[in-house]
Every structure is written in structure tokens, then in C-alpha cells.
Amino acid sequence: MAFAPQIKIPATYMRGGTSKGVFFNLADLPAQAQQPGAYRDAMLLRVIGSPDPYGKQTDGMGGATSSTSKTVILSKSEHDGYDVDYLFGQVSIDKAFVDWSGNCGNLTAAVGAFAVNNGLVDAGRIPDNGVVMVRVWQVNISKAINVHVPITNGEVQETGNFELDGVTFPAAEVKVEFMDPADGEGDMFPTGNLVDDLETPEFGSLKATMINAGIPTIFVNAADIGYTGTELQDDINGDPVALAKFESLRAHGAVKMGLISDISEAAGRQHTPKIAFVAPPAAYVSSSGKPIDIDDIDVLVRALSMGKLHHAMMGTAAVAIATAAAIPGTLVNDAAGGVDRANVVFGHPSGTLGVGAEAALVNGKWTATKAVMSRSARILMEGRVHIPEPQI
């Protein structure tokens, strides 16, 4: 029996923040994959190694976690005033599903470097030494992002002494600005309230802050669901009953936010919304063994991504945290002391992260103009991925 040879696709494997993903230049993809649809999804699933009933993604580039089952497609921007269009695909590990409903904030830090390295930024904008601001149009959510990429001798500088909790080695600092991060089509608080009563079968009535800034996120108080906010991954991810409760909470919140019309639709929207729980500062030991003192942080936050507690924090959820912390009356702001703040340092399973946001009350509605954080990024490998021709 004859078998078709594998196809070879130029790709770059990159770390951005606390995530890893496979990056593609749109022009390098097979013709059928240069348009959205079943062929593109099948190609990305095979690249990553999904669906994998073993949950390991052994036969692909994925790392069997939500942070490492990611794909990015970049192209010269079709929008005036931008350098690059950035499309993000969150690949399910055990299902034949690519979720295009949101952005990845962590991988955004690597978008600028990829764009420079692949000629997607005009050469005249790149200094010999200094920083180039790569103007990114985020296609999934139709938002602008500025990625500040350090340049040394005309090339992207990846090495440095910037340390990011959740990443083992230091690297060059990359500042990322999420412009107008709130939902542009509706209220940043979809229900119109800073805090709602969210009804779920498992928890009954819970206080919840539901915000669409960076990524749709549902915040609840850790104490209301039986946690302290100092939990690490193993405390939750090894408990299937707890994970099922979180998924139910996520589904009911998604309905209340207007993202879906029925909880049954949540399975087809795994990437959004996110679930996070917050608590006032407390001392704990991070997953690396690093002690976090109560005075090191303003608030504790733990968040789930793709059904599991994240090992650090999703970049887009960090935007939601920063924005909610800047608005008095939200659960995040209350847990952080209930004071006006433009910056917040939160504790996550791997350590701490400082983020900032600018928010204002305009005509009776809260709006955010910008959220800022520092990340790092570097190329892990570049070349070609090999996969069998997708059969659609």
C-alpha cells in the first residue's frame, strides 16, 4: 500500500512569556491553509499532535498543557498604521478542536520578534541599536497591541537579565501595551455590574466580577469556593470533581456574560471565558520553592485555562486582573485592599507579576485605555514542521 509523503512547512518554535507555541508566516502555509477553515484547523491539530486520547501530544509539537498547545499565524498587516496581523489558535489537547475566540497575551511578547525576524516590519523602522515598537493588530479580538522589541546591532536581542516568574532563565525584557483592552462592542462589564450574583448548581449563589478586558474573565472569591488563593497546580488539577465544578462555573458565567446562549455551548468555547479566584495577600511557597512574603504582593490570584489551573498566569488574564484591580468595587480591587491603584502586583502559583492599567468612568461606564506588562521571548527552534497532508 502506497502512502503519501509528509509535507514540510516553515515554522518557528518560540517561547513568549510563560507560554510556548508554533509560529507561522501566513505566506509560508500551504495554499489551502492560508484561509480559515477545516484544512487550516486540521493542519494545526496535526502540527501540535492533537487530538491525543493519551493527553501527551507525543506525536506533535505540543507540550500537553494549555500553555504549550498554541499556534500563531502572522502576516504583513492589512490595517493602516500597523506592522503585523496576529492570529492566535488555542489547540485542544484531547479533542479535534482549535479555539479562535481569544488572544494569547504571553505569546504576544514573541509576536514582535517574529515579525522583525521575518521581514514583516519595514526595515526603516528598525534601529541599529535601541527599541522598535512593533504595531500589532490582534485579529481574534480586533484590538491594537504595541510590542517593544529590543534591538542590538540591527537584530532582535533575546538575551538579558530580566527575570519572569514561571520561566527558568533570564532574558531580554519585552514591554507589551494592550491598547483599549476592553470589549469594543459592548460594556466592559457585560452585565452592567461590577459584582453580580452568579447561580451555579455546585456552589449556589456566588459573588462574581465578570469583565471583558484582555480576555473575558470571571473572578470569584477564593473563600466562597473553599480555597485560600495560595493553591498550586497539584492542589486542583489532580481533583477531577473540583475541575468539573470550575467548568460548570465557567459555563454558567459565560451564559450570564452573553458569550453563549446555553451552558451546553461552553464545550465549543474552551479558551474563553477564563475562571479566576482571588484573595487578600498571604504568604506561600511558589511551585519553584521560592517563598512569597505577604508584603511582596497586593493580591492573590489563581486562574484556570483550558480546564486546568495555570502554572503561572495567562497574559490576557493579567490584563483583566490589572483592569479590574484599577476599578473600585470589583472583587479584585476589594481583595487588593479596596484602594485606587494604577498598578498591582499579584501572586500566582509560580511567583509574582506586576501589571498596570488605566481605567476611567466615562458617561457612567467604565473603560480602560491601556494595560501594560513586561514579558520576555526567544526562539527555541526554527526550521520546518513535517506532517502528513491533512485529509478533509
Condensed to tens digits (0 to 9), the pLDDT of residues 77-106 reads 999 999 999 999 999 999 999 999 999 999
Question: DSSP H helical segments within the chain, as ranges?
Answer: 38-48, 105-117, 233-237, 240-256, 315-325, 331-335
306 within 8 A of 90, measured Cβ to Cβ: yes
Q: Number of helices (H) and strands (E) in the chain: give both, helices first.
A: 6, 21
User: Which residues of the chain fall short of a pLDDT of 50?
Assistant: none
SS3 309: strand
Nearest CA-CA partner of 93 in 126, 60, 119: 60
How much is the pLDDT for 249? 97
- Which is catalytic among the residues 14, 43, 61, 104? 104
Query: In terms of Cα–Cα distance, which of 77, 79, 59, 61 is closest to 69?
Result: 61
Position 186 scores a pLDDT of 67
DSSP labels, 151-170: EETTEE----SB--TT-SS-
| Three-state SS at 87 | strand
252-263 pLDDT, tens digit per residue, is 999 999 999 999
What is the structure's pLDDT at 3? Answer: 86
The number of C-alpha atoms within 13 Å of 294 and in the hemisphere containing its C-beta is: 6
pLDDT at 121: 98
Predicted confidence at residue 290, as pLDDT, reads 96
Q: What is the pLDDT of residues 11-62, one digit of tens each?
A: 999 999 999 999 999 999 999 999 999 999 999 999 999 999 999 999 999 9
Quote helix, strand, coil % in the chain, to nearest 5. 20, 40, 40
Whole-prediction pTM:
0.91
* Burial label, 101 (beta-carbon count in 10 A; 0-12, 13-18, 19+): middle
pLDDT, residue 184, reads 60
Residue 193 CA to residue 364 CA, distance in Å, equals 11
| Among 14, 61, 188, 314, the one annotated catalytic | 314
89 exposure class (CB count in 10 Å sphere: 0-12, 13-18, 19+): buried
Tell me if residue 61 is catalytic: no
Is position 314 annotated as part of the catalytic site? yes
